[in-house]
A and B are shown apart, each in its own frame.
Chain A
């Protein structure tokens, strides 16, 4: 299990990285944390003539507050920083919770948010968080910078709307209203494994009425999914109806981790639990 030969470029700037991707006609691949890519290299499931390493590019890492009350998270920000960041904890405790489910410390030390989104594993936490929080994914390519709504970013398992020559540089998250409640539920048979299913939810209350209900599901659909019908059911008819709506809204597949039927069942269970927690926390 050793990688096939490849050329390697440690890019110093985004321009250099984009130019290298463009020059290869999209055959070159990016490497950031490498925690999903390098296993595939070792299994020789991924092959490319050139790997462009962006770890050395300055300014791609870090978490800052943005003008719309949210956060801007640089693409090279490691999972461990998300897990422990006070800014993240203050703005999005749901991310903080989600990070506890992301693999293990050694992976979180190395893995990046940009890599996780670009890899687009439908069972991963951060892609689901990005659709939950209406993130904008900022990418740079030959034609310059582009902002892609998370809802438009994930197209299929391991497939995004990113062009082969584009690089995710940051994620912008809009601020959440004060008093937003949240819930995050994930099930895997072994600690740290990819989710068999998971559900994240946020909501706010206005005079007891629910506003801004958001539900995102992962592991139980071909992409991370904002479950709009479940959200509507939640607003109109409550938690049980939302969980039932979610079961109908997703299209899970069979694999070794679980059958489609079990995943559908599980998504409903986790939806109920996430909404319970979010309702409890919403002010």
Chain B
């Protein structure tokens, strides 16, 4: 057993000051310590993207980040986008376009799409597909996800 480390992390606006083992993955910290189980763990080696969250506004794989590395950071998870009774606009676009089936990759898709929509013009479907290519979905064949992100882009561009 190694020395625990004190960290302070703000998640979805709430600050948490806790002691954690250095080896604790941020994904596990979010799920196990904070009970925010919307962030899913799909591969633990950075390929599937299911665990994608935002750290200081940037999309990041929470399975490839140690909780101790997020000391002092502001984290946003899927729970920050809206809740089941009042979905946020991107979540609503996913629902309108049937952009999810089993829902397991969905939180990672949403967080990736959030970052993409902030950072890239996403002019074409190819751009959208390129942006989503780090998130594996096994159910949808991606087509409806592309449609949902396209709709969110149009909404963004309308201002």
Query: Contact residues of A with B, CB < 8 Å?
Result: 1-8, 10, 31, 34-35, 38-39, 41-43, 51, 53, 55, 80, 84, 103-107, 109-110, 190-192
With A35-B64, A103-B134, A110-B64 in contact, do A7 and B115 touch (Cβ < 8 Å)?
no
Task: Report B-chain residues with C-beta under 8 Å of the C-beta of A38.
Answer: 25, 46, 63-66
Q: Which of B23, B112, B134 contacts A3 (CB 8 A)?
A: B23
The reply to whether A109 and B2 form a contact with Cβ atoms under 8 Å apart is no
Q: A104-B49, A106-B112, A107-B46 are in contact. Are A191 and B59 (CB under 8 A)?
A: no
A190 contacts which chain B residues (CB < 8 A)?
133
Q: Return the CB mask of B60-78 against A: 1 if under 8 Å, else 0.
A: 1101111011010000000
* Bound-state Cα–Cα, A51 to B130, Å: 34
Which residues of chain A have C-beta atoms less than 8 A from B158's C-beta?
none
What residues of chain A lie closer than 8 Å to B112, measured between beta carbons?
105-106
Instruction: Write out, one digit per residue, whether chain B residues 114-133 have a CB within 8 A of any chain A CB (1) or not (0).
Output: 01100100000000001101
Residue contacts A-B, CB under 8 angstroms, 13 given: A1-B44, A31-B66, A34-B65, A35-B61, A53-B68, A55-B69, A80-B58, A106-B58, A107-B61, A107-B64, A110-B58, A110-B64, A192-B134
Complex Cα gap A104–B49 (Å): 10
Distance from B2 Cβ to chain A, minimum over Cβ atoms (Å): 5
CA distance A2 to B44 in the complex (A): 8
Complex interface residues of chain B between 1 and 15 (CB less than 8 A to chain A): 1-3, 5
Interface of B, secondary structure class, is mixed
Q: Are A5 and B133 in contact (CB under 8 A)?
A: no
Instruction: Tell me, in angstroms, the Cα distance from A75 to B59 when the chains sit together.
Output: 20
Write out the residue numbers on chain A whose beta carbons fall within 8 Å of the beta carbon of B28.
2
- B52 at the A/B interface (Cβ < 8 Å)? yes
Closest Cβ neighbor of A42 among chain B residues? B44
Q: List the 10 closest A-B pairs by CB distance, nearest first.
A: A104-B134, A8-B22, A39-B45, A109-B58, A191-B133, A3-B23, A1-B44, A106-B59, A38-B64, A5-B2
B64 contact from A8, A39, A51, A84, Cβ within 8 A? A39
- Which residues in window 81-120 of B have CB below 8 A to A? 112, 115-116, 119
CB distance from A248 to the nearest CB of B (A): 34
Decide if B21 touches A5 in the complex (CB within 8 Å).
Answer: yes
Q: Tell which of A4, A42, A192 touches B133, judged by Cβ atoms closer than 8 Å.
A: A192
Which B residues are in CB contact (< 8 Å) with A192? 133-134
Complex formed: what's the CA distance from A1 to B47 in Å?
14
**Which of A6, A42, A105 contacts B45, CB < 8 Å?**
A42
Q: How far is the CA of A125 from the CA of B94 in the complex (A)?
A: 34
Is the CB–CB distance between B2 and A105 below 8 Å?
Answer: no
* Contact between A107 and B69, CB atoms less than 8 A apart: no
CB pair A105 B131 closer than 8 Å: yes
Q: Kindly provide the distance from the CB of A165 to the nearest chain B CB, expressed in whole angstroms.
A: 21
Bound Cα distance A35, B46 (Å):
8
Q: Are A34 and B64 in contact (CB under 8 A)?
A: yes
The smallest C-beta distance from B139 to any residue of chain A, in angstroms, reads 18
Residues of A within 8 A of B131 (CB): 105
In the bound complex, CA of A210 to CA of B112 (Å):
44
In the bound complex, residues from chain A placing their C-beta under 8 Å from that of B135 are: 104
B59 touches A109 (CB 8 A): yes
Measured CB to CB, the closest approach of chain B to A33, in angstroms, equals 9
Q: State in angstroms the CA–CA spacing of A1 and B23 once bound together.
A: 12
Shortest B135–chain A CB gap in Å is: 8
Query: In the complex, A42→B47 CA distance in Å?
Result: 13
**Residue in contact with B115 in the complex, picked from A1, A2, A10, A106, CB distance below 8 Å:** A106
Given A2-B25, A53-B68, A106-B2 contact (CB < 8 Å):
no
The answer to whether B23 and A106 have CB atoms under 8 Å apart is no
Chain A residues with CB below 8 A from B5, complex form: 8
Which chain B residue has the least Cβ–Cβ distance from A55?
B69
Contact call A5/B23, Cβ cutoff below 8 A: yes
- Indicate if the CB atoms of A6 and B23 lie closer than 8 Å: yes
